[in-house]
């Protein structure tokens, strides 16, 4: 039978009507069953006696730092070598004990730029050919410059030692330094500096060095400033290379799966006949600043203030080096330090605050740095100076703080020697900072020997707020009123750390007003 849509609709309507007429009311739903009664609590479980108390630490492992051997090439280059088991890797570091402190005052960044240029072609190879050959050897090459040094490093396969060192010899002795690559690398460095000027923490670090050390030793970060890098010419670079790169004073560190005899032979063949003397000297350390205002780098509308309070300290080989390591941890280096617990945990002003004793070869500084909300800039300074001041009054460092600091330093120490490149860098720091040969071997004992009295003697040199410069990168207008209560002059710096000329004040307007 054919059924049309209209027929289907009619039949459905009739069926619904019949159901409604015959079915009566829809029965009410049955009541919901009551929820089940809660299960009785389980009987108390028997605690496994193995877990009834925290386990005691295992006995300390008897471990001593690696020290290696030393020998000298026929041209006077000293080599530190450590044969590191059967590893197929080698880390090689060339330490040139002359760094950014030797840059002319108006050309800061010159040594940094020179280090960056050394692999832009060397010997018979162009920059691309040199890069390709390093890649085929699976050799990583890097060069950098610090305040006191230039460092050329290679991480390589032991089987490729000879070929890699041959390339390194060309980079050291026969770099091409092409002019077109100089222009490109200079522009790259300028771009990095300009980009960093947008970061308050970066410009604040630049400013700290400038106000603490002036235009002398350590007064500029190694990569320089926008103005100083813009002033560097190609002739400056070529002249600096001739005066800076020479075998005099160079020391080489090799760590990995190669024997001393093989290293000696390879380095003698590549570098043993290299002669020459350096003709640069580090700038002198400027007198400590007598003027200690508040320096502000202005970032309009900044939600945070990047601030540092800092004072000059002695250099890397000062007698207070080890007391400084121990004292600094409870003051502000560790997460549980006094300053961090105050500003972060108690006050909620910041995500973290840290103190540091930064030491270069000839000088250094102690500083406390943090990023805080703009509206608590003054309160944060007050709390930092309160914590430092109490080191000399009601809260000297305790025996427990000393013990925890020493324990943390010693327990973390072996981890800094895990990889061959870490070991090489540890050993390289000895000639960089002109330290004794056994520095890292005696380091644990000298840390352990620091008592709470020595730690407090160091800490009590940090108490006086009048000895500190204050550097803040943030919204000057928003914080100026609060800072005025500190009774210090406020000086604005530009983003290269130079004193900014004050903005002209608003004067009269109209036909008789003086031109502006």
Tens of pLDDT, residues 72-99: 999 999 999 999 878 999 999 999 999 9
CB atoms within 10 A of CB 497: 22
Task: Give me the sheet containing 140-145, strands edge to edge.
Answer: 69-72, 78-83, 251-256, 89-96, 150-157, 140-145
pLDDT at 5 over 60: no
Mean pLDDT of 14-19: 48
Mean pLDDT of 316-333: 98
Report the pLDDT value the prediction gives residue 368, as an integer from 0 to 100. Answer: 99
Q: How confident is the model at residue 505 (pLDDT cuts 50, 70, 90)?
A: very low
Give me the percent of the chain exceeding a pLDDT of 90.
82
Contact 218, 101 (CB under 8 A): yes
pLDDT digits (tens, 9 = 90+) for 266-291: 999 999 999 999 999 999 999 999 88
Q: Distance between CA 358 and CA 208 in Å, rounded?
A: 12
Q: How confident is the model at residue 41 (pLDDT cuts 50, 70, 90)?
A: low
Q: Phi then psi for 273, rounded to 5 degrees?
A: -100, 10
pLDDT digits (tens, 9 = 90+) for 190-249: 999 999 999 999 999 999 999 999 999 999 999 999 999 999 999 999 999 999 999 999
69-271 and 294-493 share one fold: yes
Q: Which sign does the torsion angle of CA 322, 317, 260, 140 carry? A: positive
Report the pLDDT value the prediction gives residue 501, as an integer from 0 to 100. Answer: 65
Q: Could you say which DSSP state residue 280 is in?
A: -
Q: Could you say which DSSP state residue 278 is in?
A: -
pLDDT at 504 over 60: no
pLDDT at 441 over 60: yes
The pTM (predicted TM-score) of the whole model is 0.85
Collapsing DSSP to helix, strand or coil, 190 comes out as: helix
Which residue from 120, 106, 105 is spatially nearest to 185, judged by alpha carbons?
A: 120
CA 325 to chain centre: 17
Q: For residues 31 and 52, which has the higher predicted lDDT (pLDDT)?
A: 52
Q: What is the mean pLDDT of the chain?
A: 91
Which residue from 180, 410, 194, 212 is spatially nearest to 293, judged by alpha carbons?
A: 212
Q: Distance between CA 455 and CA 41 in Å, rounded?
A: 55
CATH classification for the domain delimited by 69-271, as one of 3.90.1150.10, 3.40.50.720, 1.10.760.10, 3.30.830.10: 3.30.830.10
Q: Distance between CA 26 and CA 362 in Å, rounded?
A: 98
Cα-based distances in Å from 336 to 37, 333, 390, 408, 411: 49, 8, 17, 12, 16
Report the pLDDT value the prediction gives residue 48, as an integer from 0 to 100. Answer: 79
Q: Judging by beta carbons within 10 Å of its beta carbon (0-12, 13-18, 19+), is residue 508 exposed, middle or buried?
A: exposed
pLDDT at 254 over 60: yes
pLDDT at 120 over 70: yes
pLDDT digits (tens, 9 = 90+) for 230-247: 999 999 999 999 999 999
Q: For residues 513 and 333, which has the higher predicted lDDT (pLDDT)?
A: 333
Mean pLDDT of 107-127: 98
Report the pLDDT value the prediction gives residue 271, as an integer from 0 to 100. Answer: 98
Q: Distance between CA 203 and CA 495 in Å, rounded?
A: 6
**CATH number, domain 294-493:** 3.30.830.10
Q: For residues 378 and 28, which has the higher predicted lDDT (pLDDT)?
A: 378
Collapsing DSSP to helix, strand or coil, 270 comes out as: helix
Report the pLDDT value the prediction gives residue 162, as an integer from 0 to 100. Answer: 98
Mean pLDDT of 134-144: 98
Cβ neighbours for 512, distance < 8 A, ≥ 6 positions apart = none
Helices (H), 369-438: 377-389, 399-412, 420-432
pLDDT at 16 over 80: no
Q: Phi then psi for 357, rounded to 5 degrees?
A: -110, 100
Report the pLDDT value the prediction gives residue 516, as an integer from 0 to 100. Answer: 29
**Bridge-partner residues for 252, per DSSP?**
79, 94
Mean pLDDT of 316-342: 97
pLDDT digits (tens, 9 = 90+) for 347-362: 999 999 999 999 999 9
pLDDT digits (tens, 9 = 90+) for 338-393: 999 999 999 999 999 999 999 999 999 999 999 999 999 999 999 999 999 999 99
Q: How confident is the model at residue 507 (pLDDT cuts 50, 70, 90)?
A: very low
pLDDT digits (tens, 9 = 90+) for 442-500: 999 999 999 999 999 999 999 999 999 999 999 999 999 999 999 999 999 999 999 87
Ranges of each domain in the chain = 69-271, 294-493
Q: How confident is the model at residue 3 (pLDDT cuts 50, 70, 90)?
A: very low
Pairing status of strand 251-256 against strand 140-145: unpaired
Q: Can you read off the two tokens belonging to residue 71?
A: 């020998």
Q: Distance between CA 34 and CA 460 in Å, rounded?
A: 73
pLDDT at 14 over 90: no
Q: How confident is the model at residue 502 (pLDDT cuts 50, 70, 90)?
A: low
Q: Distance between CA 334 and CA 323 in Å, rounded?
A: 16
């Amino acid at each position: 039978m054919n059924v049309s849509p209209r027929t289907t609709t009619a039949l459905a309507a009739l069926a619904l009507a019949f159901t409604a007429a015959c079915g009566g009311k829809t029965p009410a739903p049955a009541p919901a069953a009551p929820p089940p009664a809660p299960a009785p609590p389980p009987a108390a479980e028997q605690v496994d006696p193995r877990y009834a108390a925290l386990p005691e630490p295992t006995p300390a492992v008897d471990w001593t730092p690696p020290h290696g051997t030393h020998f000298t090439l026929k041209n006077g280059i000293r080599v530190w070598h450590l044969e590191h088991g059967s590893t197929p890797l080698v880390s090689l570091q060339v330490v040139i004990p002359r760094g950014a402190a030797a840059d002319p005052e108006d050309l800061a960044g010159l040594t940094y730029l020179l280090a960056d240029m050394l692999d832009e072609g060397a010997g018979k190879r162009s920059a691309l050919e040199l890069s390709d050959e390093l890649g085929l050897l699976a050799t990583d090459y890097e060069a950098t410059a610090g305040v006191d040094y230039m460092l050329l490093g290679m991480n390589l396969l032991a089987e490729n030692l000879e070929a890699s060192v041959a390339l390194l010899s060309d980079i050291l002795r026969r770099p091409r330094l092409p002019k077109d690559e100089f222009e490109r690398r200079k522009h790259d460095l300028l771009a990095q500096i300009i980009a960093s000027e947008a970061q308050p923490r970066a410009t604040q670090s630049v400013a700290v060095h400038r106000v603490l050390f002036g235009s002398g030793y350590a007064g500029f970060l190694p990569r320089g400033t926008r103005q100083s890098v813009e002033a560097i010419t190609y002739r400056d670079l070529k002249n600096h290379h001739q005066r800076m790169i020479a075998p005099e004073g160079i020391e080489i560190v090799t760590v990995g799966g190669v024997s001393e005899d093989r290293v000696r032979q390879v380095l003698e063949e590549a570098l043993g006949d290299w002669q020459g003397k350096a003709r640069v000297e580090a700038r002198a350390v400027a007198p400590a600043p007598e003027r200690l205002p508040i320096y502000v780098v202005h970032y309009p509308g900044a939600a945070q203030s990047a601030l540092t309070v800092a004072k000059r300290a002695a250099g890397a080989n000062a007698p207070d080096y080890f007391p400084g390591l121990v004292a600094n941890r409870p003051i502000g280096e560790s997460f549980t330090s006094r300053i961090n617990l105050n500003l972060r945990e108690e006050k909620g002003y910041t995500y973290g605050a840290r103190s540091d004793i930064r030491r270069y070869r000839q000088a250094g500084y102690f500083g406390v740095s943090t990023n805080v909300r703009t509206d608590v800039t003054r309160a944060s300074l007050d709390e930092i100076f309160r914590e430092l001041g109490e080191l000399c009054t009601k809260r000297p460092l305790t025996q427990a703080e000393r013990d925890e600091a020493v324990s943390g330093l010693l327990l973390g120490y072996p981890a800094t020697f895990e990889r061959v490149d870490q070991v090489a860098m540890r050993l390289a720091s000895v000639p960089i900072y002109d330290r004794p040969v056994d520095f890292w071997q005696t380091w644990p004992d000298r840390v352990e020997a620091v008592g709470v009295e020595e730690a407090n003697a160091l800490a009590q040199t940090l108490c006086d707020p009048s000895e500190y410069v204050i550097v803040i990168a943030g919204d000057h207008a928003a914080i100026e009123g609060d800072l005025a209560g500190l009774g210090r002059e406020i000086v604005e710096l530009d983003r290269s750390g130079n004193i900014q000329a004050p903005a002209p004040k608003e004067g009269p307007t109209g036909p008789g007003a003086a031109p502006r």
